[in-house]
């Protein structure tokens, strides 16, 4: 598409992982149009992903726009004089706001009726055939605007001060040990995951090696979790930005295929992730981008014989599921050697 574009609005209003996967777009827009103005519209709780990003000139909060009301938002966006908008997740309210804001080039996903009547250029995912990465599907909208790229590496930018905080935290948590491994227990029901008890057993197995320190990276302690282990929840009560700084201190993060995995990848922290092979949960669609990673899946027949059928309640238990031994082996592989000795599994 041959357009002289100068002012872009990138909109991603869903969960943390999805927002992290949108971070390549501002960078690639600036690469094509170095003098462009790029704004990002997201939710309050995800804006920390974009703070200090040099490719983003303005972060707009969805909640603040909702407080302005429909026409207040329209007038606010009109003043910013955007040439193009990329709505990465279909949303009817935002669709009409963008239309009445006078943005001439509006790109969206799919072919909703409200998109059709407002003249949105819908980008089809062609029923996910062939299955590509979510970040690649999102980049299709930028490609429509003439930004031809295959660089999908995600990024979260830390300031010098934040890097120093992360380094200090790492030293404190390691307490003389060599490797800091984070376990993220929860997934918010967005992906199949182990029960908390299995993560606890994994932590005990990993810490059998003297050089390893294990911490938990959840913001909330699971119910009935042993009190003696609750003091190593390093992000309890912290903001998302503080959590990002904490994750940056790790050598490796073990988790389900959810937001913290994508945060770690964007920070170039190594990840070991539990994945479901179903197309909607597949690593082809959701694997971490930009870091060294290992994705673990259950055996080929597990979904047919053991899985409850709902990815949100699957725990990878039973024959053919994902076992503690596999994760320990993955830690050995991704962190290479622990003082010349492999972890015992």
In the predicted structure, residue 340 carries a pLDDT above the cut 60 = no
- For residue 342, what pLDDT is reported? 39
Distance in angstroms (rounded) separating the CA atoms of residues 23 and 238: 23
Please name which of 116, 140, 146 lies closest in space to residue 126, comparing C-alpha atoms: 140
Close Cβ partners of 141 (under 8 Å, ≥ 6 residues apart): 25, 86, 88, 107, 108, 109, 123
Distance in angstroms (rounded) separating the CA atoms of residues 100 and 94: 10
pTM of the model: 0.93
Question: Rounded distance, CA 118 to CA 150, Å?
Answer: 30
Per the listing, tokens 């598409």 go with 1
Question: Measured at the alpha carbon of residue 291, what is the angle toward residues 287 and 296, in degrees to the nearest 5?
Answer: 40
Architecture of domain 7-144: 3-Layer(aba) Sandwich (3.40)
pLDDT in tens, 259-276: 999 999 999 999 999 998
Class of domain 160-334: alpha beta
Domain 7-144 and domain 160-334 have a common topology: yes
> Which residues neighbour 344 within 8 Å (Cβ) at sequence distance 6 or greater?
205, 208, 209, 328
- Report helix, strand or coil for 291: coil
Q: Tell me what the mean pLDDT of segment 36-53 comes to.
A: 98
Is the pLDDT reported for residue 343 higher than 50?
Answer: no
Domain ranges of the chain: 7-144, 160-334
Model confidence band, residue 3 (pLDDT cutoffs 50, 70, 90) = low
Half-sphere exposure of 315 (CA within 13 A, CB side): 9
Q: Contacts for 231-234 with beta carbons within 8 Å, 24 or more apart?
A: 234/169, 234/173, 234/182
pLDDT of residue 166: 98
């Amino acid at each position: 598409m041959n357009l002289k574009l100068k002012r872009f609005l990138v909109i991603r209003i869903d969960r943390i992982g999805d927002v992290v996967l949108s971070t390549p777009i501002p960078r690639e827009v600036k690469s094509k149009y170095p003098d462009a103005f790029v704004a990002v519209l997201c939710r309050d709780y995800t804006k920390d992903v974009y703070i200090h990003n040099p490719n983003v000139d303005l972060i707009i909060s969805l909640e603040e726009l909702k407080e302005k009301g429909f026409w207040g938002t329209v007038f606010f966006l009109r003043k910013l004089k955007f040439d193009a908008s990329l709505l990465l997740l279909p949303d009817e309210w935002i669709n009409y706001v963008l239309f009445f804001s006078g943005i001439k080039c509006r790109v969206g996903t799919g072919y909703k009726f409200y998109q059709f009547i407002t003249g949105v250029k819908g980008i089809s995912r062609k029923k996910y055939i062939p299955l590509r990465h979510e970040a690649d599907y999102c980049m299709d909208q930028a490609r429509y605007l003439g930004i031809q790229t295959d660089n999908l590496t995600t990024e979260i930018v830390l300031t010098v001060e934040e890097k120093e905080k992360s380094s200090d935290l790492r030293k404190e948590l390691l307490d003389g040990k060599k490797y800091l491994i984070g376990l993220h227990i929860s997934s918010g029901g967005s992906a199949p995951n182990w029960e908390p008890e299995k993560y606890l057993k994994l932590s005990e197995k990993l810490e059998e090696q003297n050089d390893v320190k294990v911490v938990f990276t959840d913001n909330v302690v699971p119910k009935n979790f042993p009190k003696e282990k609750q003091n190593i929840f390093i992000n309890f009560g912290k903001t998302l930005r503080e959590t990002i700084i904490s994750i940056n201190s790790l050598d490796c993060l073990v988790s389900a295929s959810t937001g913290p995995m994508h945060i770690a990848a964007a920070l170039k922290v190594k990840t070991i992730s539990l994945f479901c092979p179903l197309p909607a949960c597949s690593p082809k669609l959701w694997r971490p981008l930009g870091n060294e990673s290992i994705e673990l899946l259950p055996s080929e027949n597990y979904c047919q014989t053991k899985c409850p059928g709902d990815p949100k309640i699957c725990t990878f238990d039973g024959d053919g599921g994902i076992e503690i031994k596999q994760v320990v082996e993955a830690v050995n592989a991704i962190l290479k050697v622990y003082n010349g000795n492999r972890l015992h599994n």
